[in-house]
Structure 1
Amino acid sequence: MKRNFYLAAVAVLSATAVGGVYANSSADNDALASADARISLTQAIGAAEQHVGGKASRAEYEHHQGRWVYEVEVIKGKQVIDVAVNSTSGAIIAAVEDQTDRDDDHHRDD
């Protein structure tokens, strides 16, 4: 039993290390790309929270349909709303109820 645990732990640590090296070397690293955004992550979260009238639970800088946007997950009551915020202007691009994350403990694309 302990052997299986140790093998699983080594596999997870190896995958994490490889993923970290890849993320640091990738030209498409989302964190590095956010340096080009004209609004901050904090401003995007504020815009999304105000638009929905709820509290943000997660935010990411993502490349979608040829442009970089902030994706903010906002909770309002029992609803989870995915809000896309323009990284240049701060305008709300879309706000859609998230059906897929209800039973999921992590974002579907991660």
Structure 2
Amino acid sequence: MKRKLLSMMAGTAVVLGGLGAAMAATQQGPGEDDLNIGQAKVTLTQAIAAAEQKAGGRAAHAELNDENGKLVFGVEVVNGQQATDVKVDAMSGQVLSAQADQADAEHEGKGEANDD
């Protein structure tokens, strides 16, 4: 009886120890992107507004990127079937570029079967 109890307790300890290690591995500190957002002088909302005004649509996706040491918001703006990738300087709010989304242009007219 004691052996069964000790066996079960040892098994439980191993399982709980593994769970603790797994949880500790997923609870990391702030990532690089988290630190970069604090350095940006322009808010995400301001960057989205600038991108939407430039491309004449609504933002579908936005992210902060470090491009050669320069913080840039990348905003995908959609207007009907057209998607535009807009880059906004995270320090000044100036629109740096606006280009038709190349991935959408490549698939245009090819149908759903090629969207993998």
TM-score (norm 2): 0.63
Cα gap change, 1:50/1:25 in structure 2, threshold over 3 Å: closer, same or farther? Answer: closer
Name the residue aligned to 1:74. 77
Query: Where do 5+ consecutive residues of structure 1 fail to align?
Result: 1-13, 105-110
Higher radius of gyration, 1 or 2: 2
Q: AA paired with 1:64?
A: E
CA drift at 1:66:
2.3
How many equivalent residue pairs? 85
CA drift at 1:99:
1.9
Query: Where do 5+ consecutive residues of structure 2 fail to align?
Result: 1-21, 108-114
CA drift at 1:92:
0.3
More helix by share: 2
Q: Percent identity?
A: 42
TM-score (norm 1): 0.67
Root-mean-square deviation (Å): 2.3
CA drift at 1:77:
1.7
Runs of 4+ that moved beyond 3 A: 101-104
